[in-house]
Amino acid sequence: MIDTLLTIAHADSGAIQLQQTTFALMDLVQEAVAVIGVLAEDKDQTLSVTGDQRALVCADRAFLRMALVNLLDNAVKYSPAGSSLHASLHIVGSDTGPVRFVELAIQDEGPGIPEDARKRVFDRFYRLDEARSRDSGGFGLGLPIAKWAVEAHGGTITVKTSFPTGAIFCIKLPVVTRISD
């Protein structure tokens, strides 16, 4: 928790200097999935990844990785044993149009997030179910850090309810280019 609070304090003060490089986002997604995969295995959950392997972003790998790990950790934590979690990565927009971004959606089979809570879920220290969050070790800081990391890279992060249960966290980041086929 101390490291998390220090990260937030440094971000607030503008003291964090992003070390941006260009890389395939799918590589980072797969790296984050590998880190969280052990937790998913403990709950007999299936964690899958699909999408465009050629999408490149210019970002600080460490901070973007922190955002992805926080989102995947929440997906595992709040989904029941035996459930399926899925991350999908797609480039949105045309090759000729001015707006192109990569969209990463992380879908779980947890209880979902009510509409009124979706407005606050990225607020610091906000926990949807305070008793459950304390039991699972949450302090309400993972999603605010994920939001900061995504926005620091010119992106956005949103959440919506999945049908019939669960949540989908969606990250949109500017695309640098894509690797040639």
Across the strands, what pairs with 58? 22
Nearest CA among 111, 118, 107, 155 for reference residue 132: 111
Mean pLDDT check: name the lowest of 32-41, 55-64, 136-145.
136-145
- Residues ≥6 apart with Cβ < 8 Å to 4: 139, 141, 142, 145
Which one is predicted more confidently, 170 or 125? Answer: 170
**CATH number of the domain at 2-178, please?**
3.30.565.10
Cβ neighbour number for residue 75 with a 10 Å cutoff: 27
Q: What is the mean pLDDT of residues 54-73?
A: 92
Judge whether 124 and 90 are in contact, CB under 8 Å. no
**Dist CA 85 CA 32 (whole Å):** 13
Predicted TM-score (pTM) of the model is 0.82
Average pLDDT, integer, range 120-139: 58
Under the banding of pLDDT at 50, 70 and 90, the label for residue 12 is low
pLDDT at 69 over 70: yes
